[in-house]
Amino acid sequence: MLKIHNRNKSASVHRNLFTFVFLLFLLSSCKPDLIITQGSFSPSTPQEGDVMNINLVVKNNGKVTASDAKISIFFEIAGIAYAPPSNSLPAVTLSPGDQTTVSFQWKFASGWGNKRVHLFAEADVGHSIDELDEQNNRYDFGDLFILPTTPFTCGNNQLIIPKYKNKAYQCFDIRTNTLDNILSSLNQATERVFLYGDFAAINTPVTLLHYSYDRIIFLNNIQFQIQTNNVSALPIFDFKDPSDPLNLLCVTVYDNITDLQADCGAGVDACAWGHNISVTENAVNPLPSITGISKGNINYYYNTVMPSDCLPIEFHEFQHIIDRLYLKPHDSWFEEMVARLFANPSNILPLLCPSVQFTDIQKVENGQTQILTTLPSLWEMNSTLPLENFGTQYANGDVCKQAIILQINRDALAGGQTYLRKLFSILSINDIDTDQKIAQAVLLANGNDPAVKAFLQQNGCIP
């Protein structure tokens, strides 16, 4: 049987398909396309307290009108982008090929001095407009250095603690000086060295300079961002302290344990007060040691194997600085517990040092030793009674305090970093100067779960 092929019909199908594809192409290209073609700012070397004027030229390179597109500027520092309030952003409407100038003003408030920031701008913030190219909205100005209102001077350094004021010092900016530069610049009479960066400084004996240099580099470049971001704390610190015009977190490495305990108290090897963290040599040049945690009659032991390039400084004491700066006033027992919650070693160390290892983990109970493969976290230990040793100490037999500690650790175990950030935010805006107010804040962070409310009521925390 002869089959006849209809060439006219086939050609018609191809023409229709071509027309359809062509129309799709036209439709896809008939979109606006916003770009920022130019940007300028003044002053070129801004200082803390200055108002910066920023001008942007925004153009529509697309085929149709762009309506009500929001434009914004961003100052990025330590992973956080500061921007004007979203409800104050200017909006532009541009026909194809048109352009306009958009202007902003930004005041560098207290705390911005001595900081490096990255300035960029975006057209169509939030990508609310369907554009031809969604990847070309950003305009980068690059990095800026914000000058402090009070220049740093080594000879009149108020960040040096009273105990070591009379020592012979040299000071160095770690952003412009390598360790080799510093070593070659030391005077023979120098006893102590003060090193500083964007966020933190360290006051160290010359004999520990090498170790302290590596630690303060890590604190400024890695630890500061990770630890503030862990609880969504803003990285622009404002201590409101005239003795700290650069708003630096200052680590002091003491000459000996006797000096430190005279300032911090008997029986401790570190403490935090004001903008200062006090540490011993072991914080910058640690000796191998086994960590032990007690929970009732159970003892846990483990080793922490740190990568050679991971050099955090006292993340627990640093957490105290963050808490006291941002949270509402609260009692010392609760501060100790939330610092241990936010800076739980099994949670924070893997963030700081992704390849950290916890080895030789042992659980000893009633004289029997069990080898474990995973380190139990403080959150897990403090989710059930008895609490671990510090929890027991700070609860001090008070059933309400005990219930609060149990609840925040249970919630951290269930919610991880999301919960930590939520709790930190709630504790920063709600009064927590009594145990009842703390319990109300804990309940709020939990989402007002009826079972949690009943638990806190049963333990006398809330009516």
Q: How far is CA 327 from the centre of its chain?
A: 15
Q: Which pLDDT belongs to residue 6?
A: 55
Q: Does pLDDT of 2 surpass 70?
A: no
d(CA 349, CA 315): 9
Q: Which pLDDT belongs to residue 4?
A: 46
Give the closest residue to 375 by CA, choosing from 390, 360, 353.
360
Q: Where in the chain is the domain with CATH 2.60.40.10?
A: 34-146
Tokens of 6: 């209809």
Which residues 6+ apart lie within 8 Å of 70 measured at CB? Answer: 86, 89, 90, 91, 124, 125, 126, 128
d(CA 277, CA 258): 16
Average pLDDT over residues 358-379: 95
Q: Does pLDDT of 18 surpass 90?
A: no
Average pLDDT over residues 318-329: 97
d(CA 239, CA 199): 12
* CATH-assigned architecture of domain 34-146: Sandwich (2.60)
Q: 3-state class of 92 per DSSP? A: strand
Ramachandran assignment for 460, one of left (phi > 0), alpha (psi -120 to 50 degrees), beta (any other): left
Query: pLDDT per residue over 193-214, tens digit each?
Result: 999 999 999 999 999 999 999 9
Q: How far is CA 301 from the centre of its chain?
A: 30
Percentages of the chain per state (helix, strand, coil), in multiples of 5: 35, 25, 40
Using pLDDT thresholds of 50, 70 and 90, give the confidence band for residue 242. confident
Average pLDDT over residues 150-160: 77
Tokens of 208: 């520990």
Average pLDDT over residues 405-420: 97
d(CA 44, CA 76): 17
Give the residue, 245 or 15, on which the prediction is more confident. 245
Query: pTM value?
Result: 0.90
Q: Does pLDDT of 13 surpass 80?
A: no
d(CA 375, CA 377): 6
For residue 169, which amino acid is it? Y
> How distant, in Å, are the alpha carbons of 42, 47, 84, 250, 402 from that of 50?
10, 5, 16, 26, 49
On whether the CB atoms of residues 77 and 107 are closer than 8 A, the answer is no
